[in-house]
Amino acid sequence: MQYGFNHRTSAVAEKLWRDKHELHGIKMSFFTRIRFYTAVIATWLMNLNMFGISFKKFCTPGFNCHGCPWASMACPIGVFTFSSAVHQLPALAISSILAVGLVFGRMACGFICPFGLIQDLLHKIPSPKLMLPKIFRYGKYFFLIFFVALLPFIFGFEKSGYLFMPKPEVKKNDAGNVDVKVTVENIGTEPVRGFSLDFVYIGKGSKEKISSERRNFLNMTVIPGEKITLEPVELPNKLADADLLVSSPESTVRQEPNLKLYFCTHCPKGTLTAALPSRLFNSSTSGIYSESSFINLRFAILAAFLIGAILISRIFCRVMCPLGAIYALTSKYSVHKMNCDTLHCINCGKCDKVCPVGLDVRKEVGNTECISCGDCMKACPKGCFARKFSLKQ
């Protein structure tokens, strides 16, 4: 009797175990199947400028150079570098990247990064595969701190004169119009003489220009470091239907780094999708992406990267990617989580063999280096790995 009870219990337990792992297999295979397709779709969406569709005011959640002729959105690393060079805070870029990082963590690297997709495809090329020492994973933080933040901040761009304008003060006057008081500051290295201001009304619904007006201040000079509040400019009141934007032709910067070692100047993604097409097809690309020769440092870095990506899985993500470093810093607090049920782990090591970023998976899954790709879920014979979305830390 006792034997029969144990036999039936064992059969029930076996069925529950099988059902559990069949369900796990469905979930695992779903995420494994969609990862490639989400990366392809994301790459397409981030390059809609091939159809004339552009959202350059917004940053991509994946690593995609905005110097590429097809790019429809701005690269967050490019925005951070530029903002650091002109000593401004890119609030929109920071908030958008933090929003992605705090929800998905480094899952964004695994599922929607165009450059990650390129590396995955390159690594499929038959060749000897090499391991990368863990010490190199700290390289991306080095690039983020020094080449994206500190060096641009200290050395800036080459600029003869540059007018920075904070948000203007707008007041309605007795005539029903508005008085616009603008403050200009020269953050360049040389005086700005005889500048102009453009006052543009942009429709709140249509986002199209309704009207514009230019005012010239030909007799004024703003020396480097000087801040001047101009006399109020009277304009018709259209604020009910439009937003007022104030700009100046003198508020543009030539993107020529004083110290030509900023991240964007030698980024392999920028070289591959911006500088290389410019060189091959003699396009009109200018600035840091305009190249007259293949024999220079940036093309040497690209060649080394292409070879490295074939030999070492996701080498750029692991060693150089500043965006990956930002997502890594947010992953600890992200809503998305991955974990391992070590109680049922049989230490077969299959998860370590398939991990694209070379983790000791059972100990490091879900940590700052994990890109949440789900390859370990596919490889594990016991279904020890799971992902979830939870607000609990």
**What DSSP string describes 82-145?**
HHHHTT---HHHHHHHHHHHHHHTTHHHHHS-HHHHHHHHHHTSSS------GGGGGHHHHIII
Give the residue, 287 or 120, on which the prediction is more confident: 120
Last residue of a domain, one of 247, 273, 295: 247
Give the residue, 74 or 17, on which the prediction is more confident: 74
pLDDT at 253: 60
Cα–Cα distance between 255 and 82 in angstroms, integer? 8
User: Do 113 and 167 belong together in one domain?
Assistant: no
Average pLDDT estimate for 87-112: 92
User: Do 144 and 17 belong together in one domain?
Assistant: yes
Give the number of other Cβ atoms within 10 Å of residue 251's Cβ. Answer: 19
With respect to residue 62, please indicate whether it lies within any of the assigned structural domains.
Answer: yes
pLDDT at 32: 56
pLDDT at 99: 94
Average pLDDT estimate for 346-372: 93
User: Do 23 and 115 belong together in one domain?
Assistant: yes
With respect to residue 78, please indicate whether it lies within any of the assigned structural domains.
Answer: yes
Q: Write out pLDDT tens, residues 28-68.
A: 455 556 888 999 999 999 999 888 888 888 899 999 998 88
pLDDT at 317: 95
Please tell me the number of Cα atoms within 13 Å of 265 on its side-chain side.
Answer: 18
Cβ-Cβ contacts under 8 Å for 94 (sequence gap 6 or more): 80
User: Do 331 and 238 belong together in one domain?
Assistant: no
Burial of 167 per CB tally in 10 Å (0-12, 13-18, 19+): exposed
Residue 329 scores a pLDDT above 50: yes
User: Do 53 and 183 belong together in one domain?
Assistant: no
With respect to residue 133, please indicate whether it lies within any of the assigned structural domains.
Answer: yes
With respect to residue 369, please indicate whether it lies within any of the assigned structural domains.
Answer: yes
User: Do 239 and 335 belong together in one domain?
Assistant: no
Burial 264-284 (b: 16+ CB within 10 A, else e): bbbbbbbbbbbbbbbbeeeee
With respect to residue 121, please indicate whether it lies within any of the assigned structural domains.
Answer: yes
With respect to residue 110, please indicate whether it lies within any of the assigned structural domains.
Answer: yes
Last residue of a domain, one of 247, 279, 294: 247
User: Do 141 and 19 belong together in one domain?
Assistant: yes
Residue 66 has which token pair?
A: 């905005």
pLDDT at 156: 81
Domain that includes residue 121, residue range = 11-154+314-389
Burial of 228 per CB tally in 10 Å (0-12, 13-18, 19+): middle
Residue 236 scores a pLDDT above 70: yes
**CATH code (residue 201):** 2.60.40.10
Last residue of a domain, one of 247, 271, 305: 247
Average pLDDT estimate for 97-105: 94
Residue 284 scores a pLDDT above 60: no
User: Do 87 and 199 belong together in one domain?
Assistant: no
User: Do 23 and 111 belong together in one domain?
Assistant: yes
User: Do 343 and 211 belong together in one domain?
Assistant: no
Q: What is the pTM of this model?
A: 0.72
With respect to residue 263, please indicate whether it lies within any of the assigned structural domains.
Answer: no
Q: How many domains does the chain have?
A: 2
Residue 5 scores a pLDDT above 50: no
With respect to residue 268, please indicate whether it lies within any of the assigned structural domains.
Answer: no
Going by C-alpha positions, the residue among 173, 238, 183 that lies closest to residue 209 is: 238
